Structure 1
Amino acid sequence: MFNNKVSIIIPTYNRAHLIGETLDSVLAQIYTNWECIIVDDGSIDDTEEIIASYIKKDMRFQYYHRPIDRQKGANACRNIGYELSNGEYIKWFDSDDIMHPDFLAKQVQALEQNKDLDFCASFSKKFIKTIDDLNEDFYPEITFDKNAIYNFIIGKLYFLTPSSLWRKRILEDIELFDETLYNAHETDFNFKRLIEGGKFCYLEEVLFYVRRGHQSIDKESINDPLCLQSQFDYFQKVYQFLNSSNEVLEDAKINKLKKYVIYREVNFYYEIRNLSCFKESINNFKLILKDIANVNLRFLEILRLFFGIIVILFFKKGYWLIHLKKFDIRR
């Protein structure tokens, strides 16, 4: 019988109308050795009163406010929850999603029976109002460890934040969620764990349900320059990894991935430039120039990209110049 404690960490913001369903699904877990740490990002609705009623029923629930000296946002709340946790396992969850009753039990069992694994993920489904209207599946195309970094960078392998159960020991003394990011935080966090050598398994079962159709605590607007900049910054981190000497990937794959990353960067650069002033785009321009200089490209490709990013910088035009579709290796 497995009995290691699981720390469930839930950031929340103005979820009084939804968080009760989430906490009910936590209470319904057949695995009972858990603590649930809820970190409020500054709610102005009845969130505190709702959670107080759950704490009154079950002392395994804990409620904290984000300190005013910490960055606002879900990432800081996730990190704060981790700092307060006492479990051997960590489960970050969202305040509007719902757990299957077997969620924790099956993931704890997988990790207890496979001591070499660092985390365990699972499939999920999307719903709008109730889990009776489940529709879209969240199943990554790739679910195994082989070539994990390569498949993760191109999006064939992914992990939703609530999906994974983590051994706490592998998370100690490392950067967790980047509190400066407005978007791509989930991808950034999991990328860091993979390049650190994190080993995982994917349970090919739907064990939680993801709510969609409302504004999230995480900013995800495609028209928000801060969100777009966060995605650009994530791909900069990927490029820095690819440009460093490493024995994880073959040279041929590294060059393919560098071209793909540049393809993604210049597309975000174009979108950001059209939403931002000239001065704010200069740094991105310089970073792309540096990346282009460190990848094996044909002369005409270099010329096209170089003139493209200049035209975009000065005139907010020239998308066709930087849109090198052949660099997109996702298909």
Structure 2
Amino acid sequence: MTSIAPLSSALHAEITDKRRVLLISPDIEGPVRNGGIGTAFTALARALKSQGHDVTILYTLGTYIEQGTMDGWVRQYKRDGIRFIPRPDNDGPSLTAPMPRINSWLVYEWLKSCNEIFDVIYYPEWRGETYYALLARKMGLHFQNTAFIVVTHSPSVWAQEGNNKLPSSPEDLETEFLERQCIALADHMVSPSVYLINWMKRRNWVLPETYEALPNCAPAGLKSAIGSRKFPTALNEIVFFGRLEERKGLTLLCKALDRLDPATWTNIRQVTFLGKSSHELAFKKLIEKKTNNNWPVEIRIITNMDRTQANTYLSQPGRLAVIASLSENSPYSVMECLLQETAFIASNIGGIPELIAHQDQSRVLFEPQPQSLAECLTKCFETRFSFKPAKLSFSPDDIAKKWSELIQKIDLSAPEALSKAELPRISVCLTHYERPHLLGEALNSLFQQSYKNFEVIVVDDGSVKQSSKECLNRLSKHYEELEWKFIRSTNRYLGAARNLAASHATGEYLMFMDDDNIALPHELETYARCARQVDADILTCPFDIYHRDISAHEKEKAEYRWLPLGACPSLGVFYNCFGDANALIRRSLFEKIGGFTEDYGIGHEDWEFFAAAVLHGGNLQVVPESLFLYRASDSGMLLSGEVERDHSRNIRPYVQNTLGQMGSALAYALHLSLEMRGAFQQGQLHQSTPFNPDYFTWSDLLKPRFFKQVLSGALRNRTLRQKFWKFLREKGLWKTLQAVIIYGTRKVTRH
């Protein structure tokens, strides 16, 4: 674990050597016009550069810009001595996973391909974009001499709470998991407020061994006006300052203004709403108020200013900024007002009080209630000729020094590598049924493994064809010297076949494998090393998918890559986020759980097992490397089966192991999810229904029935059809499926 010395003992330490620093962020000043994370990371980049460090920014939104040109921003940062790199697009197999996972994977791939080794990487928890990179570091695969420091800002579930919203899609559950992991796996955490640290603790977030509260650096390019402004000035305008949404207090201010008495209104000439626009109901109601002119003054809405323009607007005499947030971490809107000596009042919530000098808090802070805000506004305009701005609670220069000193205290030494003598014996449990042409390839891929401490148990699940029997006889003789076991059984389906193989195993770990898999040469060794490194009970991994005959040496010909998420039991109610059955499982845990259930003719036995293991406290993790090839075919079990029956199996661990009747409630939630998914395929959803194509799996896209349903249903609606086409392009499937889509759409639109 990376260690950090107490900063209090080294506040004035000299920089002894230059660090190579990378900042990873989906929000940065320039391409993005306004954003708290962008402001924080731009300020940090410039502060570290000014202290002599080598600074690079990886902008994870790639080519997305809100202003200017990307080449222009690259040149601008270069002039400031900072490398600015937009994250490249995927150039490998098409990634089949929800977008949060894809974004994290692309960041990981860029880091692996980068020629430079960074000493320190800073990143926000928002969107969880360093998840796979953090897993790789934890498992000893990459980045062993790099420290990862997470700078907390605004977890998605925290913002959701502030907006009084419920999760609206499975992606919300996935994003929360990714963000939690990006904090838990960090070497060190910095929060700009004590408030957010306590918020995480109350919600049982796992924090790194070392963490601290340290305010953000002052905004880049914002010159402090402390001591240069002339006061007092007469207040005559109220300016709502913040994103125009519920969490930022938009409705709160509107209700407070409704409570102002006529005498107060005589001192106000205008009410201005300054911030990014929103599609929320609160913003729409604001437009109605402007249209109906409920207040006896002019109403102005400004949504197109960047940070510099907004601060210039607020600094003009007579304007009172109102920061009415319902939940807030350490908002730059408050810090900027303090630095510019802008007249403002703010809600007494979150980390806001930590920014304001103690002696000023009582007069500029209000409780986030309409009456409290109305009373505060009344006092401000009653004393409008003598109102003075509040002071900042810290020195911006001291904070910049602390950020620089932080990376000087990091231990960059890599952990000791494991020796092969410490690695476990693995029992490979391979099931086969009537596919002799595939079984030979699967066994040969095991023979080619770089790792040698393993055994193989092959179970034939009741094949009756003569070709299968002959193949089994031939292969058992071929591998006789290796003492690989070949067991013939009656047809009892996958769960029973896998259990039978496990019952003959002697290894510490079991690795399950199907006859249509090809193990890449390093699969077993990678699994063995990672299992020891993190003391895992279960390891799963991404895998590459193809539809034609290829060998393990032709991995680059794979068409798709599926990315598992990991041990996220909330998302596991609705989707198999855990991984594929081709997984490494500690034999003692397998026996404790009772192995796979043995339902005949029903799928999802691996999903059910993983869910049960995680709910029992098993340590399931994802190795962030593709370790095997999967051959997709129309006859494969992944592409067949009855949806309701299969899902009734994977929900069982939740029903059996969840407190009270919560398991049944989760089963009902799954039923509703399946109904909505089916309704979309049948075209029964209104076009305003949220479209979440990330959760159509690659196997859905390969089912002819799926295309028939979608093309004859949802794609009849023009809006949904456009969204679906966009989804295909983003997934990289457009070229291969374009002909099918166009043909089907033409048929549909004729009706």
The verdict on a shared fold, with TM-score over 0.5 as the criterion, is: yes
Residue 260 of structure 1 and its aligned partner are, at CA, apart by 2.8
Q: CA deviation at 1:153?
A: 2.3
Q: Is the 8 A contact 2:450 2:522 kept in 1?
A: yes
Q: Secondary structure at the match of 2:476?
A: helix
Give the gaps of 5 or more residues in structure 2.
Answer: 1-419, 696-751
- Residues 174/229 of structure 1: CA separation in 2 closer, same or farther (3 Å cut): same
Shift in alpha-carbon separation, 1:74–1:256, aligned structure 2, 3 A = closer
SS in structure 2 of the partner of residue 205 of structure 1: coil
Choose which of 523, 534, 537 in structure 2 pairs with 1:118.
537
Whether 2:558 is the aligned partner of 1:134: answer yes
Per the TM alignment, residue 57 of structure 1 is displaced from its structure 2 partner at its CA by 3.2
Paired residues in the alignment total: 262
SS at match of 1:17: helix
Per-residue Cα deviation, 1:277-309 (whole angstroms, up to 9, x for no partner): xxxxxxxxxxxxxxxxxxxxxxxxxxxxxxxxx
Distance 2:574 2:456 in 1: 34
| 3-state SS of paired residue (2:462) | coil
Question: Structure 2 vs 1, CA of residues 108 and 82 (structure 1 numbering), >3 Å: closer, same or farther?
Answer: same
The answer to whether the 8 A contact 1:154-1:330 is kept is: no
The Cα shift of 1:197 comes to 0.7
1:6/1:91 contact within 8 Å kept: yes
1:172 alignment counterpart:
591
**What amino acid sits opposite 2:467 in the alignment?**
D
Task: Tell me if the contact between 2:450 and 2:525 (Cα under 8 Å) persists in the aligned partners.
Answer: yes
Tell me what 2:312 maps to. none
Q: How much has 1:265 moved relative to structure 2? A: 6.2
CA distance in 2, matches of 1:156, 1:48: 34
Partner of 1:93, secondary structure, is: strand
Partner of 1:157: 577
Distance 1:330 1:239, change over 3 A: farther
- In 1, Cα distance between the equivalents of 2:525 and 2:467? 31
Aligned to 1:104: 524
Residue 61 (1) aligns with residue 470 (2): no
State the Cα distance separating 1:97 from its structure 2 match: 0.8
Indicate the residue corresponding to 1:292 in structure 2: none
How far residue 245 of structure 1 moved from its aligned partner, in angstroms, is: 7.8
Deviation of residue 258 (structure 1)? Answer: 6.0
CA distance in 1, matches of 2:452, 2:632: 28
- Cα distance change of structure 1 residues 259 and 215 upon mapping to structure 2, 3 Å threshold: closer
Q: Kindly state the Cα deviation for residue 109 of structure 1 after the two structures are TM-superposed.
A: 0.7
* SS of residue matched to 2:593: coil
Deviation at 1:262, TM superposition (A): 3.6
Displaced runs of 4+ in structure 1, greater than 4 A?
Answer: 254-259, 265-270, 328-331
**For residue 616 of structure 2, what is the aligned residue in structure 1?**
196
User: In 1, distance between residues paired with 2:639 and 2:576?
Assistant: 20
Contact 1:79 1:177 in 2 (8 A): yes
Q: Does the aligned pair in 2 maintain the 1:126–1:212 contact within 8 Å?
A: yes
Q: List per-residue Cα deviations over 1:66-104 (Å, max 9, x = no partner).
A: 1x4xx6211110010011111111001001110010000
Once the two structures are TM-superposed, the CA of residue 151 in structure 1 deviates from its matched residue by 2.9
> Residue 62 of structure 1 aligns to which amino acid in structure 2?
K
Letter in 2 for 1:244: G
- Could you give the per-residue CA deviations for residues 126-179 of structure 1, whole angstroms, max 9, x where no partner exists? 011225431111113x34x5xx211322337221001x2111121224322111
| Superposed displacement of residue 330, structure 1 | 8.2
- Tell me if structure 2 keeps the 8 A contact 1:10–1:81: yes
In structure 2, the residue corresponding to 1:151 is in which secondary structure? helix
Match of 1:232 in 2: 648
**Could you tell me whether the CA contact under 8 Å between 1:12 and 1:74 is conserved in 2?**
no
Task: Among all aligned residue pairs of Structure 1 and Structure 2, give the percentage whose two residues are the same amino acid.
Answer: 20
Cα deviation, residue 10, structure 1: 1.0
Residue pairs, 1:1-331, within 5 angstroms: 1-2=420-421, 3-43=423-463, 44-58=465-479, 59-66=482-489, 68=490, 72-115=492-535, 117-129=536-548, 130-131=550-551, 132=554, 133-140=557-564, 142-143=565-566, 145=567, 148-155=568-575, 157-162=577-582, 164-180=583-599, 182-216=602-636, 218=637, 220-222=639-641, 224=642, 228-235=644-651, 237-244=653-660, 257=666, 260-264=669-673
Structure 1: how far apart are the matches of 2:427 and 2:456? 6
Structure 2: which amino acid aligns with 1:95?
D
Q: Residue 40 of structure 1: SS of its match in structure 2?
A: strand
Work out the CA distance in 2 between the residues paired with 1:55 and 1:107: 26
Structure 1 unaligned spans of 5+: 247-253, 271-318
In 2 relative to 1, CA 174–258 (structure 1 residues): closer, same or farther, beyond 3 Å?
Answer: closer
Distance 1:329 1:51, change over 3 A: closer
Q: Secondary structure at the match of 1:82?
A: helix
The structural deviation recorded for 1:240 is 4.7
In 2, the alpha carbon distance for the partners of 1:201 and 1:19 equals 28
Question: How far off is 1:230 after superposition?
Answer: 3.0
TM-score (norm 2): 0.32
Greater Rg over alpha carbons, structure: 2
CA RMSD of aligned residues (A): 3.4
SS of alignment partner, residue 46 of structure 1: helix
Is the contact made by 1:238 and 1:261 (CA closer than 8 Å) also made in structure 2?
Answer: no
Structure 2 counterpart SS, 1:18: helix
Q: How far apart are the structure 1 equivalents of 2:546 and 2:649?
A: 30
Equivalent AA in structure 2 for residue 104 of structure 1: L
Q: Distance in 2 between matches of 1:243 and 1:329?
A: 32
Label 1:269 to 1:63 Cα distance change in 2 as closer, same or farther (>3 A). same
Measured after TM superposition, the shift of residue 238 of structure 1 is 2.8
Distance 1:48 1:108 in 2: 33
Using the alignment, how far apart are the partners of 1:156 and 1:15 within structure 2? 26
Deviation at 1:49, TM superposition (A): 2.8
Aligned partners of 1:39, 1:196: CA distance in 2, in Å?
28
